[in-house]
């Protein structure tokens, strides 16, 4: 019985309850079978043996569930721990790869920062060289050019001052010299204007402006050029056109740039100048019947020194500065410039200004920069002063002699100007 009891105990440990009952039944059958065939056991011994086997089986029946449960829990826990270990190893590998990628990205970022610093230094050096070039042009080229233009103009238009009339051949040659000297002078002035705009110290003198008069003046200036090209000039100016705040000379310069471009790129037809109020703004448009501009080139034409390729390009003179200068001058006045065009049918350039009535208290609504005896250097810190008081503006500019000073009277316009110029200091009055 002890042997079978041990067998039942091990079966209860190793097997489930079904296995336990199977082993117990087999053990009982073996014992009673042996007793039946061998006649060696008495009834009392058989009863005691049956009771002991029953008690052992009952005890193992009761404990088998908890033991099996503990074994299953242990096995499940081991499997879960093994699974978690694999997950941890995988996550650790991913983390190591991520750290390597971060190290590589950090190295690349450091290299990019170094390259950006070098590029910025090169840009600053190029800006400084450009400013020196502009100053050289101002002092070394403009003075002799003014003399050449002045003397040749006198010789061509007033030869009687020299006592003896010039021979027709000489007069024709002098006319060519005068015409090309004027062209060169205009190019030099354009380069200087662009350099001043880039350095943010171009002088703007704001005043109350009647655009009707400026448009008529610009049209009269180019009327002779249009007549030589047999082009018609039309003016379409709204009678209720409001006044604006701005620099009349610079606004006329924008109009002349657009009109000259229209004349150069128009073989036949007409040029129309329109001006009308719209949504608290004044819109001015210069339309032509020329060769037109492809839509994909609309943004490029406002870049400095950029001229579009076209079959007529070799016949057109210019340095590609007019539209770039016009764009910056319009933006300095708080306006915008854009183009609408169709290839083969012509182009129309529009620019807009805020329709603001100027009073003595708001005479500084447009940017202006005080002039000084000393030309400001591009390396000087830039100060943006927001004030409506002319006396305060004059006082500040006189005391900030070591700074480039931009004065503006409108806060909203000052925000856009600050984003473009990125001043070192902003003074609010």
DSSP 96-110: HHHHHHHHHHHHHHH
C-alpha distance across the termini of the chain, in Å: 111
**Cβ neighbours of residue 13 closer than 8 Å, sequence gap 6 or more:** 64, 67
- Is residue 115 packed enough to be buried (19+ CB in 10 Å), middle (13-18) or exposed (0-12)? exposed
pLDDT at 370 over 50: no
| Threshold 0.85, pTM exceeds | no
Cα distances (Å, whole numbers) of residue 155 to 167, 181, 225: 12, 14, 22
Angle value at C-alpha 252, between 396 and 135, nearest 5 degrees: 55
- Which of 25-34, 155-164, 217-226, 413-422 is predicted most confidently? 217-226
DSSP label at 62?
Answer: H
pLDDT tens column, 168-208: 888 888 888 888 888 777 777 777 766 666 655 566 667 77
pLDDT at 314 over 50: no
Cα distances (Å, whole numbers) of residue 160 to 157, 163, 164, 171: 9, 5, 7, 12
Let me know: does 351 contact 254? Beta carbons within 8 Å. Answer: yes
Residue 405 in 3-state DSSP? strand
User: So what's the pLDDT on residue 223?
Assistant: 85
Burial letters for 240-253: b for 16+ Cβ neighbours within 10 Å, e otherwise? ebbbbbbbbebbbb
What distance in Å separates the CA atoms of residue 417 and residue 186, rounded to the nearest whole number? 28
Q: Bridge-partner residues for 346, per DSSP?
A: 342
**Cβ neighbours of residue 183 closer than 8 Å, sequence gap 6 or more:** 317
Token pair for 220 = 């009269």
User: So what's the pLDDT on residue 79?
Assistant: 83
Helices (H) and strands (E) in the chain, counts: 10, 10
Task: Place 157 in a pLDDT band, splitting at 50, 70 and 90.
Answer: confident
User: So what's the pLDDT on residue 2?
Assistant: 47
């Amino acid at each position: 019985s002890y042997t079978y009891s041990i067998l039942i105990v091990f079966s209860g440990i190793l097997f489930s309850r079904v296995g336990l009952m199977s082993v117990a039944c087999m053990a009982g059958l073996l014992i009673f079978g042996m007793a039946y065939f061998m006649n060696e056991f008495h009834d009392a011994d058989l009863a005691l043996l049956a009771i002991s086997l029953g008690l052992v089986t009952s005890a193992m029946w009761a404990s088998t569930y908890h033991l099996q449960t503990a074994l299953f829990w242990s096995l499940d826990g081991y499997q879960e721990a093994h699974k978690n270990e694999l997950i941890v190893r995988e996550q650790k590998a991913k983390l190591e790869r991520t750290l390597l990628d971060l190290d590589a990205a950090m190295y690349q970022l450091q290299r990019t920062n170094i390259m950006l610093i070098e590029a910025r230094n090169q840009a600053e050096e190029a800006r400084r060289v450009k400013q020196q070039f502009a100053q050289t042009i101002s002092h070394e080229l403009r003075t002799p050019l003014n003399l050449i233009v002045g003397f040749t103009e006198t010789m061509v238009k007033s030869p009687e001052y020299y006592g003896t009339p010039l021979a027709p051949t000489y007069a024709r040659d002098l006319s060519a010299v005068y015409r090309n000297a004027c062209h060169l002078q205009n190019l030099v002035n354009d380069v200087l204007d662009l350099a001043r705009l880039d350095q943010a110290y171009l002088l703007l003198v704001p005043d109350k402006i009647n655009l009707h008069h400026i448009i008529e003046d610009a049209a009269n200036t180019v009327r002779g050029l249009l007549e030589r090209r047999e082009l018609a000039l039309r003016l379409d100016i709204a009678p209720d056109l409001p006044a604006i705040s701005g620099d009349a000379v610079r606004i006329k310069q924008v109009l002349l740039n657009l009109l000259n471009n229209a004349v150069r790129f128009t073989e036949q037809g007409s040029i129309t100048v329109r001006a009308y109020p719209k949504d608290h703004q004044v819109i001015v448009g210069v339309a032509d019947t020329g060769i037109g501009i492809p839509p994909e080139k609309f943004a490029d034409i406002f870049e400095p020194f950029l001229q579009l390729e076209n079959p007529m390009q070799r016949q057109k003179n210019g340095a590609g500065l007019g539209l770039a200068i016009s764009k910056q001058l319009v933006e300095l006045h708080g306006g915008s410039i854009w183009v609408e065009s169709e290839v083969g049918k012509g182009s129309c350039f529009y620019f807009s200004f805020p329709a603001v009535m100027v009073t003595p208290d708001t005479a500084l609504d447009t940017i202006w920069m005080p002039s000084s005896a000393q030309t400001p250097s591009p390396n000087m810190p830039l100060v943006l002063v927001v004030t409506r008081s002319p006396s305060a503006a004059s006082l500040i500019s006189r005391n900030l002699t070591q700074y480039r000073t931009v004065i503006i009277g409108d806060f909203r316009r000052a925000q856009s100007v600050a984003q473009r110029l990125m001043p070192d200091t902003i003074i609010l009055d």
